[in-house]
Chain A
């Protein structure tokens, strides 16, 4: 593997450091001067209501999107400044579990999990087989190794994708809504698995979720994001017992409060009185 040609910054205690980052979609600011630290070897959760840009944040860390300003330093490299080949090398140390699973539909479950091993290593086939079976065993899908992605339920596809994300034992694993669509039994397994993998393999985890209890049970540190900014942060206990109104509203699941339930719109009366025009 070639080495990254750009200058590496000083190693830090944080695997990811986001500094004064602003990201715009058209005229709308998704993030405004956000600062987030993801410490090495810890499980850090990014929580917040739907549509606040949690998935966008993971894509910014992975270099799939570029911020309008600010720095996103991953393992000492400022991701937005990396060239194409350097970016792919940094990504080879990351694993990401997509919200949809994003399994390759032309490959079986086994081949999906084997894919990163085949492209990034020269391991012999029998060793690849052992690693793939271990990963599938961890997510409870060893028996489904010959199935195609179209034959899996949504929850199973997500677990297969999780096995693929950890196939190379990456330094950083990003989980995008890992608990959504899982039945209670599988959810419990996934919750434990994220914590167990993080501790056993010593990697760094970022969990994006709005499942409060499950996320709080495994996260070492939580950021609550809303309206393009970090509205609260701390350990699980600190955030769960926060006095900040916006944090409390989200963590306790209150339907309305300082964080509006409704997308910005004119008044309901005005909308109805407008007749047929939109």
Chain B
């Protein structure tokens, strides 16, 4: 019994220690005046790797989720004779919830795991150590541009996801199922509010972007430098990031829409 309590205490201390280390990693990575001449090209390269290369999965997923939403929404709304509200339903669902959350989950799987594996492999092959010995801080050179790229790309990808989702819903709802196009767009315009819907969804995606990228870069930097260590870190990134996104989504939704 005592051993179990001791083990619980040890794992609690390990978690607190890891959280402290991750905070220090982020602090050292970001706490410096950026050198535009050297930092900007690195940031652009990472925006391409993290954002542009994630576009395919985001666009395809957004399109299909928008189409499925339209199909499901049409079937339910049709029972009450209110299929004209399809545009409103799809837009609010995407902007408030599915856009930020599904994008963050896909982002964790596609870009987060890649970031962890890349940084972890750099550690395993002593590239981070050799960078340190050349007198270059890998936290600023490797971690910082990747973090900022995630911070910038995640909200952008969420907006693209929601936009493509609306187009998918239009294709299914209006072009296939015959909902009136004018009603589709005008109901959407009438019900979607800039502050409550668009901005709240944007804030969610910014928070998810910070959390997912932070977890990904820390797991890579803190990996045990073996092939098994990289495998575990990559898995941890996807699991921790997904759970963090879902948990934070509940808290943010409660604060934004739950009148807390």
Contact = CB atoms under 8 A, between A and B. Distances in A.
A119 B125 CA distance: 21
Which residue, B38, B135, B136, has most C-beta atoms of chain A within 10 A?
A: B135
A176 to B, nearest CB: 10
A48 interface: no
Contacts of A104: 127, 130-131
Nearest to A90: B135
B136 A119 contact: yes
A80 to B, nearest CB: 15
Given A84-B28, A119-B38, A105 B135 contact: no
A102 B135 contact: no
Contacts of B125: 100, 102, 105
B135 A92 contact: yes
- Interface of A: prevailing SS: mixed
Contacts of A94: 133, 135
Interface in B131-177: 131-137
Nearest to A63: B132
Contact of A64 (B122, B127, B132, B137): B132
Nearest to A161: B130
Contacts of A120: 135
Interface in B37-65: 38
Given A84-B28, A119-B38, A100 B126 contact: yes
Nearest to B126: A102
A236 B133 CA distance: 29
Contact of B127 (A59, A105, A116): A105
A129 interface: no
Interface string A63-101: 010000000000000000000100011011111101110
Given A84-B28, A119-B38, A102 B127 contact: yes
Contacts, number: 56
Interface residues on B, range: 10 to 19
B37 to A, nearest CB: 10
Contacts of A103: 127, 130
A98 B135 CA distance: 15
B38 A98 contact: no
Nearest to A176: B126
A96 B135 contact: no
A92 B133 CA distance: 7
A59 B132 CA distance: 11
A56 to B, nearest CB: 12
Contacts of A62: 132-133
B23 to A, nearest CB: 15
A64 B133 contact: yes
Nearest to B139: A84
Nearest to B137: A88
B137 A96 contact: no
**Of listed B125, B126, B130, B133, residue having the most chain A CB within 10 A:** B133
Interface in A121-172: 161, 164
A124 to B, nearest CB: 14
B134 A91 contact: yes
B126 to A, nearest CB: 4
Given A84-B28, A119-B38, A102 B136 contact: no
Interface of B: 28, 38, 122, 125-127, 129-137
Interface of A: 59, 62, 64, 84, 88-89, 91-96, 98-100, 102-105, 115-116, 119-120, 161, 164
9 contacts: A64-B133, A94-B133, A95-B134, A96-B130, A98-B130, A100-B125, A103-B127, A104-B131, A116-B134
Given A103-B130, A116-B134, 6 more contacts: A64-B129, A64-B133, A84-B28, A102-B126, A119-B136, A120-B135
